[in-house]
Amino acid sequence: MAELFISISIWPWLAYTLAGLVQVTLIVTLVAVGALVFIWLERKVSGRIQDRLGPTRVGGRFGWLQTLADGLKLLTKEDLMPEGADEFLFRIAPYVSFCASLTAFLAIPFAGGSYPFVALHMNTAVFFVLAVLGLEVFGVILAGYSSASKWSLFGAMREAAQVVSYEVPLGMCAVVPVLLAGSMDLVVIGDRQTGTFWNWYLFHDPFTFITFWVYFTCATASVNRAPFDLAEAESELVAGFHTEYSGLRWSFFFMAEYGSMLAVSLLASILFLGGWNGPIPVASLLGLTFENGFWLGFAGNVLGTANLIGKGVAGVTVMMWVRWTLPRLRIDQVITTCLKYCVPIAASMFVGATLWQYAFPNGAIFPQSAAAYQVREPWNAKAEAKSAEAARVEKTASREPVATEFTSGRTAEAAPLSARTPDPAG
């Protein structure tokens, strides 16, 4: 986007600032509007599940504006702080949470192709998103500690234990699509799943299918949604870490929670559900690709963005459905679920997916699309430039990107491993 502004000849620094502002505005809008819609949706979903109607009056037929009215009420509330609280940390904690959840959206792409819709096109995007989402817990811990209330402290300690535990299986599950795509770049991972839905990594093999459900469970736990919302646990801890908060600061915690729910759902969509590639490739059927011109491709990307956000909202809705259906677990049950079930399952699925990829590099059940993304590493390119032989190998093996990487990458330095690593015997 900065290139666009530079091309209409303004100062480079102004161009970068403008591009940054546009992207940040879009992301903030997504998170804020997302929170508005999700809170309304949560009420409607919970209402329907409990055989009620939910909000019906504010703003016309379906209570559309209920959240806005709530927001106004929250704005006018007094900003209370308990007497013994650590003032600085108490004030800053909600913003820490919110910043973490907002930053995760920086690296999430909304459409791929030659001009991906992403604020920060990172080579290690999967890792970055998981890392930043893990920081959200800090706001919660600070809030719990600084409130000088035992409910808050208990909530925060539970949250710390839970989030640190659940990051392990979450990371293990996220590694499986990374392994299949041969890249940690979310744009690449999304683009590798183009075409119809059997190209999605969800249906790549039985192991990825199970991995997706483990991922979704762990993601629900890592964003503190019921049945894993031990940090809030109304029946035991009043309201957990945000017991002492009111008004705008309290609502920031909720924006952060709904923001990170959307973020993990979007991540799940990109990793397993094809991202911006629909069940049916509408955009490419209509010819809306970058091969046919920039603006057609742009229109296709807008469609893809709508598709991805639709999948993300669907994921959040499932989380709500789960919340209003299942009872809350006890803290020991939560940790047991993580360490005794999720971690071993995720680990064995990882091994299984590796072996499957080794046995059927082209996909076994549904043939993978031949136009899959080619993994190109720098040393790969160097080797290609050096010899035409390497290029030929690459061509014949273009359906096996991982194998290609090793064959052409290692030709230049084929020295055995033992010669390179120090010998333990001496």
Positions in the binding site for another protein (CB under 8 A): 13, 16, 84, 86, 88-89, 122-124, 127-128, 130-132, 134-135, 137-138, 141-142, 145-146, 148, 153, 156-157, 160-161, 163-164, 167, 184, 377-379, 409-410, 412-413, 417, 420-422, 424
Q: How far is the CB of 160 from another protein (least distance, A)?
A: 5
Q: How far is the CB of 216 from another protein (least distance, A)?
A: 20
Longest C-alpha distance within the chain, in Å?
Answer: 80
Q: How far is the CB of 145 from another protein (least distance, A)?
A: 5
Closer to another protein at the Cβ: 61 or 420?
420
Sign of CA dihedral 113, 121, 405, 381: positive
Structure tokens at 67: 């959240």
DSSP 388-400: HHHHHHHHHTTT-
Q: How far is the CB of 162 from another protein (least distance, A)?
A: 11
Q: How far is the CB of 409 from another protein (least distance, A)?
A: 6
User: CB under 8 Å, gap of 24 or more: what pairs does 209-212 form?
Assistant: 210/345, 210/349, 211/173, 211/176, 211/272, 211/346, 211/349, 211/350, 211/353, 212/173, 212/268, 212/272, 212/273
Q: How far is the CB of 198 from another protein (least distance, A)?
A: 28
Closer to another protein at the Cβ: 138 or 290?
138
Q: How far is the CB of 257 from another protein (least distance, A)?
A: 17
Closer to another protein at the Cβ: 23 or 66?
23
Let me know: does 174 contact 271? Beta carbons within 8 Å. yes
Let me know: does 279 contact 193? Beta carbons within 8 Å. no
Q: Dihedral (C-alpha) 262, 267, 269, 270: value to the nearest 10 degrees?
A: 140
- CA 224 to centroid of chain Cα atoms: 15
* Structural Rg of the chain based on CA atoms: 24
Using DSSP's 3-state secondary structure scheme, residue 205 falls into coil
Q: How far is the CB of 100 from another protein (least distance, A)?
A: 9
Alpha helices in 197-342 (DSSP H): 206-222, 234-237, 247-272, 282-285, 294-323, 331-336
Instruction: Write the DSSP symbol of residue 373.
Output: P
Question: Residue 227, preceding bond cis, omega within 30 degrees?
Answer: yes
Instruction: State how far the Cα of 393 lies from the Cα of 412, in Å rounded to an integer.
Output: 14
Closer to another protein at the Cβ: 127 or 366?
127
Closer to another protein at the Cβ: 388 or 417?
417
